[in-house]
Amino acid sequence: MSQARPHVLVVDAEKRVLDRLAVELSDGGFDVTCAESGLAAIELVKARRFDLAIADVRAPGMEGAGTIAALKAISPDLEIIVGAPCSSAQAAVECMQSGAYDILEKPYDIENMKRLLEAAMLRTHLDAVAAVHQASAALVASLSRDDFPERAVDLAAKVVYTTSAALSLALDHGAALYQAASGAEVSAAFIARLAGQVEGALAPVRLSADDAPDLLCTAEGERFGAAIVAPLRLGERSIGGLVVLRDARLPAFTSQEEQAIGIFAIELALAFYGRKVRRAHDPRAA
C-alpha cells in the first residue's frame, strides 16, 4: 500500500538540468520522469498519465507552442509550466496561448518551481472537485431509480480520468454483499476481498501488484496492476467500498485520480444515506 505522489514530466534538452530537477523535485515529494525533447514528451504522455509537466520552451524536436498544444490535446487536464529565459519571452507567450498554466524563468529557482507546481496541483484538485459535484448532483437525481447502484458506478467511471479495467461497488446490506461493476467482469468475492482492505480506513487505500500481487489476482487467474479502494462510511459505520482496478498494462493511478475517487466516495456514501432516508419515509420508493 502506498500514498500517491504527484507525477511530474520534465522536458529539457540539457541533461544536467534534468538530473538536477529529478533529484530536487523527488526530494520535494514528486515522482519525476524526464524527456529530452518535445517529441519524447508526447510519446510519454501517450503511454501514461502525468499530474504536471515542466517544459523548456526551447526543447528540440518541436517548437514550444506546438509541444504544449500536442500535450494538451492528449491530456487536456495536464497543467504545464513553461520554462523560458528572458530572451524567449515571445515564445513563452505563444505557449500560454496554446494552453500552458504559467511561465517560469530560467535558470530555475527550485523553491519558486515547487510553489508553482503546488498551485497548479490545487487547480487540478478544484477541477476534480467540480467534476465530482456534477456527478453527485446526478446521483441525487437518481436516488429513486431501481438501478441506482449501477448508475452510481457509471457516474464514478466518469470521475476517474482514464479508462479503468474495472470499477466496482461493494455494499454491505446486512448479510448480503451487493456488487455493481463497470468494465472487466470480476467476481463479487474478489471485490469483497478488496473492499475489506479499507476496514476502519478513513481515506482511500492504494494497492499495487508490486506490493500485493496475490491480493490483485482473481481466483480465475486474472491479474491487475493496481487498485484504489475508497471506504464508504456513514459516520462510524462502514457500508462498503468503491473499488477501482487498473489493468497491469495501464499506467499507475495519478494523485488526481485518487483525489477524485476519494471525494466521490464521500458523496456516494451521502447519496446512499439519502436513499435510505427516502425509503424509510416511503417504503414504496425504490
SS (H, E, C) 201-247: CCCCEEEECCCCCCCCECCCCCEEEEEEEEEEEECCEEEEEEEEEEE
CA dist 120 and 51 (Å) reads 9
Query: pLDDT digits over 17-68, tens only?
Result: 999 999 999 999 999 999 999 999 999 998 887 889 999 988 887 777 889 9
What pLDDT was estimated at residue 167? 57
| Contact assessment for residue 276 and residue 285, using Cβ atoms and an 8 Å cutoff | no
The residue written with cell numbers 529530452 in the block is 36
Q: Whole-model pTM above 0.75?
A: no
| One-letter amino acid of 3 | Q
Domains of the chain: 7-108 (3.40.50.2300), 128-281 (3.30.450.40)
| Contact assessment for residue 142 and residue 152, using Cβ atoms and an 8 Å cutoff | yes
Q: How many CA atoms lie within 13 A of 177 on its CB side?
A: 19
DSSP state of 253: P
Count the Cβ atoms, other than its own, within 10 Å of residue 173: 9
CA 250 centroid distance within chain: 13
Query: pLDDT digits over 120-129, tens only?
Result: 887 776 766 6
Q: How confident is the model at residue 258 (pLDDT cuts 50, 70, 90)?
A: confident
pLDDT at residue 156 greater than cutoff 90: no
Q: Residue ranges of the alpha helices (H) in the chain?
A: 15-27, 38-47, 64-74, 89-97, 110-141, 148-159, 188-195, 255-281
